[in-house]
């Protein structure tokens, strides 16, 4: 059966996805800060402009200007996209009074603004990025799942294929960020490790409904002028993610010490 798929804008990632993300899906893009979530979203929107999709980018952590500048570094001309009415960036950070700004991180306000933007751009296949969606329930993590479901339901009628980023941090409560992953049709997870003193980034497709997708972790690099690039598949060995041996030994010794100190 033929399934219409939208290119992510990263050819090697499309190949890992049997061609791309099935039309109409809501995909959770998740991972620690600085791993490449926003950059993948920029590719997805830039590809949408090329394919003449209606494109909407909601930004909560960076201003509209910062998104435009970052996109330009990879050769994506978002300024022209906006002036040619092919895309709209909804700014949820600066709280300005212009037409495409949000006054607060309120899910209902967000839905209204997205629908208004879609009506402005017109009928037809559309791409939506919400970067990040988890920001809308920062102060009420217990609502994550309910809000995620609400967003998916409201937007279902509007011909969107969606990338919604979700931040998770080891230090925050478990509820944080999880809502999106539970209701998403797909999950793309970014990881990072420091190996031999260098930051390395990885991507893993954890879920994509209706898709015989790659199950392998792939290393990525972010290149000026090009953006997110897949280096190739990796096999994670225990040594890659474990702490260095001398540190493990130190931890072991201190644990033994603690035991002997117990009266």
Ligand X SMILES: Nc1ncnc2c1ncn2[C@@H]1O[C@H](COP(=O)(O)OP(=O)(O)O)[C@@H](O)[C@H]1O
Contact with ligand X (CB under 6 A): which of 3, 4, 15, 34?
34
Binders of ligand X among residues 224 to 263 (CB under 6 A) are 224
Q: State in angstroms the smallest separation of the CB of 162 from Mg ion.
A: 16
Contact with ligand X (CB under 6 A): which of 17, 39, 71, 135?
39
Residue 59 as a binder of Mg ion (CB under 5 A): the answer is no
Q: State in angstroms the smallest separation of the CB of 38 from ligand X.
A: 3
- Choose the binding region for Mg ion from 33-41, 152-160, 173-181, 231-239 (rule: CB under 5 A): 33-41
DSSP 120-136: HH-SS-EEEEEETSGGG
177 binds, among ligand X, Mg ion, none (CB under 5 to 8 A by kind): none
Q: State in angstroms the smallest separation of the CB of 85 from ligand X.
A: 26
Nearest residue by C-beta to Mg ion?
A: 38
- The total of other beta-carbon atoms located within 10 Å of residue 144's CB is 24
Q: State in angstroms the smallest separation of the CB of 37 from ligand X.
A: 3
The residue count for binding Mg ion (CB under 5 A) is 2
* CB of 156 closer than 8 Å to CB of 188: no
Task: Report d(CA 145, CA 175) in Å as an integer.
Answer: 9
Residue 222 as a binder of ligand X (CB under 6 A): the answer is yes
Please, what's the b/e burial string for 76-107 (b: 16 or more CB within 10 A of its CB; e: otherwise)? bebeebbeeebbbbbbbbeeeeeebbbeebeb
- Choose the binding region for ligand X from 31-39, 144-152, 181-189, 254-262 (rule: CB under 6 A): 31-39
Which residue matches tokens 């970067």? 131
Task: Report d(CA 35, CA 66) in Å as an integer.
Answer: 17
Q: State in angstroms the smallest separation of the CB of 16 from ligand X.
A: 18
Task: Report d(CA 170, CA 188) in Å as an integer.
Answer: 18
- The total of other beta-carbon atoms located within 10 Å of residue 154's CB is 16
Instruction: State the residues that interact with ligand X by CB under 6 A.
Output: 31, 33-39, 73, 222, 224
Instruction: State the residues that interact with Mg ion by CB under 5 A.
Output: 37-38
């Amino acid at each position: 059966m033929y399934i219409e798929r939208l290119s992510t804008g990263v050819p090697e990632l499309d190949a890992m996805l049997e061609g791309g993300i099935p039309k109409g899906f809501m995909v959770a893009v998740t991972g620690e800060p600085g791993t490449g979530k926003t950059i993948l979203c920029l590719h997805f929107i830039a590809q949408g402009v090329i394919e003449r999709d209606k494109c909407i980018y909601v930004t909560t952590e960076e201003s509209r200007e910062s998104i435009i500048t970052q996109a330009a570094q990879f050769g994506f001309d978002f300024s022209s996209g906006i002036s040619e009415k092919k895309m709209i960036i909804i700014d949820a950070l600066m709280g300005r009074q212009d037409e495409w700004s949000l006054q607060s991180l309120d899910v209902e306000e967000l839905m209204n603004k997205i629908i208004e933007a879609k009506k402005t751009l017109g009928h037809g296949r559309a791409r939506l990025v919400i970067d990040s969606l988890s920001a809308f329930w920062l102060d009420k993590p217990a609502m994550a799942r309910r809000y995620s479901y609400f967003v998916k339901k409201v937007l279902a009628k509007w011909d969107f294929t969606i990338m919604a980023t979700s931040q998770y941090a080891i230090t925050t409560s478990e509820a944080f960020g999880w809502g999106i992953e539970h209701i998403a049709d797909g999950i793309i997870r970014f990881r990072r490790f420091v190996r031999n003193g260098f930051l390395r980034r990885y991507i893993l497709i954890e879920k994509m409904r209706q898709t015989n997708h790659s199950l392998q972790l792939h290393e990525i690099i972010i290149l000026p002028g090009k953006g997110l690039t897949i280096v190739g598949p990796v096999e994670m060995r225990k040594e890659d993610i474990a702490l260095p041996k001398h540190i493990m030994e130190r931890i072991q010794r201190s644990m033994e010490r603690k035991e002997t100190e117990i009266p």
